[in-house]
Every structure is written in structure tokens, then in C-alpha cells.
Chains A and B, each alone.
Chain A
Amino acid sequence: MQFGIFSVGDVTPDPTTGRTPTERERIKAMVAIALKAEEVGLDVFATGEHHNPPFVPSSPTTMLGYIAARTERLQLSTSTTLITTNDPVKIAEDYAMLQHLADGRVDLMMGRGNTGPVYPWFGQDIRQGINLAIENYALLHRLWREDVVDWEGRFRSPLQGFTSTPRPLDGVPPFVWHGSIRSPEIAEQAAYYGDGFFHNNIFWPADHTKRMVELYRSRYAHYGHGTPEQAIVGLGGQVFMRKNSQDAVREFRPYFDVAPVYGHGPSLEEFTAQTPLTVGSPQQVIEKTLSFRDYAGDYQRQLFLMDHAGLPLKTVLEQLDLLGEEVVPVLRKEFAKNRPADVPEAPTHASLLGAARKNAAAQEGARA
């Protein structure tokens, strides 16, 4: 099972000091956080993609390329890549390039984005959101798998004899996750392709997450990719920890109370009762995270949101120490218990390459 972090990349004032980091500080902080993730033994760093203030990560492959050069092991991902408003041709090129530079340590999570004006800013129509996600991804899927593509669709100029370069590393496209919170259509899309499905459950009650994941699993099996239990599921999480749980609550409350998204709403206590947010000791985080399996089944990727709401970099790095040293080692051990042998790990470049070679050998054998 993979454990990692995902960052929204928001520039938010620290409510306890009133200070807002500069964009440069925030961008450098994201890099420092990614490097720390590798240092403390996490597996994945994923960056959001946004095209409006107060967010900085508009150019994910630039950032991930830089992080790739400064890490050895860390899997680089996105949360999410806007499949609706980015040109699928450019996504194919950018992420194949990143794949080569990062020696295959790359996957992506597709999303539609939740900022309405981004559509018109990029020349698209928000009413076509789902259709854009479907058509653009269908094209991207082909561009990574066919050397020469003739294509005609509804939302982009046609392609005649087009080759997307560089070709994917070793002829193996990056693994793709599809992220969605509310749209069953996207769970259906992920299932159709046999891709991963990431439910960003951090602001949602468990029963909603359960239904989305169940839908994806059953449709994954319907499309013949394996049993429902073998579908590739990722979940979010959101935690703030101190050794003593009361210290965690006291320190995090001012950030919670005015946080973007849920600030000025429910109390910290209500929100932690109803959503995956955990504010407390590492042991409480372990217990809450293990409970995700009760409604999502054995899953492959757990990403935590750690750097948001104006938390200073120093605090976030301390949080990552706790996550890497006290939480994830226990989670690895506990999630491995009773995990059926036929539940796969999250696909990586190595595993996909191995499968592709085995497949090719089998076909060779059948021909001989």
C-alpha cells in the first residue's frame, strides 16, 4: 500500500500571525514538503493544479520535474490534472517527458476541477464538463498507446498522423487515477478503463465515500478487469497531530475555525465526528485511518492533506515527521494484516512494465 501527501498549493494567511507567505515562499515550501515526504519514508507526493489566486501550482510538471531531480524514490503525482480544460495533447507530452526525467516515478490523477471560470479562461464550456473529461481522456489514452493517431472529436481540432513525443518511457503509459467526489460518471469512467479511482473523502461522510467506491468496484468487475476487490482505490485523509491530543486540538483550532472550505461553519468537534479529519494523537490518526478500510475495502493509496489553512512550513514539516515515524509504519503493518493475497498493490512503472513484458512474452509464445 502506498502512503503519501497531496497539496492544494493554497496561499493562505496564517490566522495566528496574520502573515501571508509570498508565492515564492509557498512554492519553495511545497518543494521542501515533497523532499521531506521522501526523507520520512512516504511513497507519494501529489500536487494540485489551479489557475487562479490564492493558489500557486498552475504548472505541475515544472514543479514535479524539479522535485524529481532532487529525489530518488518518491512517486510523483497530481491531485488533480484538469482533464477538462487542458489540451490532452499537451498532457500526453508533458507527462511523458516527466516520466523520462523521473525514471518512471510518475502517475496522474484526472479531475474536472471545481472552479467554474477556469473553463471560459481556457476556451471551454463548463456545461460540457463531463463530456470534456470523457473525450479528452479517450484521446489522451490513445496518444500514449498508439504511435500514430488519426483523431476527430467534438472539442479539439482534428489530428491527422499525429505522434505525441516523447513516447511513454519503455512504451508504458503512466498509471492514471480518476478523482471525483460527487460524480458517479467518473467512477464509471475509471472502471471502464481499469484505471484507479481516488475518492477525495476529506470533506465527506463515510457513507457517501462507501457508495462511490462500491459503484467503482462493481463496475470495474463488470468491465472485466478483475474482481471488485481487485479494483485500484485511493482515499484522502486530513490530520493534525501532537503527542498529546489536547495540544493538537488547541494548536489546530485557530486554523480550522477560519480555514478555506469549511471555516466559519461547523465546530472542529462536529467536523471530526462526521468526516475523516482527525485532530489528535498519532494513535488516533492510526485508528481513524484504519477505519477507512471498513467502508472502502482493502485499498491501494492513502494520501494525506497536511499543508493547508495557513499552517507554517515548520509545523507542516513536524507533522510529516510524526506521519512518517509514528503513523505510517503502523499503518503499513496493520493494513497488511488480513489483506487477501490477490488484492494488488498500486501500479507503478516497474509493475506495469513487468506486466507488459509478460503479456508480450505470452503473445510471442502463442504465436510460436
Chain B
Amino acid sequence: MRIVVVSAGLSVPSSTRLLGDRLASAAVAAAGADPADVRVIELRDLAVEIAHTFTNGFPGPALSDAFDAVGGADALIVVTPVFSASYSGLFKSFFDALSSTDTEALTGTPVLIAATGGSARHSLVLDHALRPLFSYLRAVVVPTGVYAASEDWGAEGLDARIGRAAGELVALAAGTSARSLPRQAAPDGAVRAVNGSGAAPGRGASGSAPLPRKDSFENVTPFEERLAALRPGG
């Protein structure tokens, strides 16, 4: 199982990164016998390339690599600090840039949402900001989100929430990688053959059943179908 953590923490060390790491280890533990590998993406390191995506229209090499990792993840853990009562601008910009590059990047991907803040007063950020964002991106959002205020790091309860959320994430990931998303049939091998040389890997290469990643170069509607759809009465 490929687990990818996206952390928008800015300081070093960062409690946002710490929460991401804790969630990832809990997920690895929950995966049990299923071997899991974890990749952490620190948005701080990609901040300039993220900004350039908006000015250029395409991601730079390091960001492109991060997009491939996120798009190919079996389970995604996303953690943001709370800035001005919401996710940070950098966090949102990463997903804006991702979805403008590939609108289907997160379709069907189980996502665990998490946030950190200076006090518990912003804990609903999970449900008023992060959950709708990932619903919009067609991800499957784990029911339990994890919010860690400063005081939670010394209080009881955070461990249990981390464990519950990670368990839910792994269960969803196991469920979604066991089935294959229906894909549109190509008229013959022609379109599919093109993808042999394409760069985008499908999900599930880690040994679970293949869950093909949607890609705009696959499943191109044959032109006759498009013409026919426009005919009067068609």
C-alpha cells in the first residue's frame, strides 16, 4: 500500500509534520501484514514551483514528481496548519495546481484530513474547509479527521483519534484497491496502445489489484461518437 503524506507545515521542526508522521505510522501499523511504504511531501520545499505553476501553466520537475506520487497513492494523509480560520494558502495552492494539471488526480482516493492550530477553537476547520475541498476533488474522505491544538500534544485522546482515523483510512484503501473502477471501453487497441509510452502510472502497482489512474490521454471519445451526439435528434 502506498501511503503519501502531504504536509503544509512551515517551521522546522513542525507540529504539522509531526502529526503527519504520527498518522502515517499509525496507518502502517493498521495495514498489518500488507506492506506499506510511506512518502512525505513537504509543501514548503515546493512553494516556488507551486507559485510558478500558476504563472507558467505547468508544474516544474519536483512538483511534477510530487503530483505523480499523490496521484498514484493508495491512501493520502493531508495535514495543514490553520491560517486565518482555514487551511493555509500554500496547502490550497498545492491542490489547486494539482487539479488544474489533472482534474482526476484524487478521484476515488481515500484521504485522511488533519490540521494543527494554536488552540482548539479552530477544530471545525476540518469539516467546514478541508472536507468540502476534498469532496469537490472527488476523493473519499475518511469519517474521522484529526485536529491537534498545542494543548493536545500533552493531553489524552490524540493517540486514540490518530489510531481511529488511520484505521479507517487503511480500511478504505484496502476496499478501494480491491475493486477496479469501471473504465470506458476503447473502440480498439489504438488509444490504449498510446498509453504504453505514457508517463502516468496506474494505482496499485504495489501488488494490490490495479486501479487505473484516469488520464485525459486515455479514453479519448472516438470522433464519430462526438459527431453523432451533435446530430439533430441525436
Contact = CB atoms under 8 A, between A and B. Distances in A.
A188 B220 contact: yes
Contacts of B197: 210-211, 214
A274 B188 CA distance: 34
A211 B58 contact: no
Interface stretch (A18-26, A261-269, A282-290, A340-348): A261-269
A215 B226 CA distance: 17
Nearest to B216: A184
Contacts of A264: 55
A262 B191 CA distance: 33
Given A134-B230, A192-B223, A274-B61, A211 B56 contact: no
Given A218-B190, A218-B191, A211 B230 contact: no
Contacts of A184: 216-217, 220
Contacts, number: 83
A135 B227 CA distance: 7
Interface stretch (A45-53, A84-92, A119-127, A199-207): A199-207
A185 B218 CA distance: 11
Contacts of B55: 262-266
A222 interface: yes
A139 B108 CA distance: 40
B52 interface: yes
A204 B193 CA distance: 23
B230 A131 contact: yes
Interface in B14-64: 51-52, 54-58, 60-61
A265 B57 CA distance: 10
B193 A218 contact: yes
Interface residues of B, number: 29
B228 to A, nearest CB: 11
Contact of A207 (B191, B199, B226, B229): B199
A153 B232 contact: yes
B182 interface: no
B193 A188 contact: no
Nearest to B234: A154
Contacts of B56: 203, 262, 265-266, 271
18 contacts: A131-B230, A134-B230, A138-B230, A153-B232, A154-B230, A188-B222, A188-B223, A192-B223, A204-B57, A204-B58, A211-B197, A215-B217, A219-B190, A223-B223, A262-B56, A265-B51, A265-B54, A270-B52
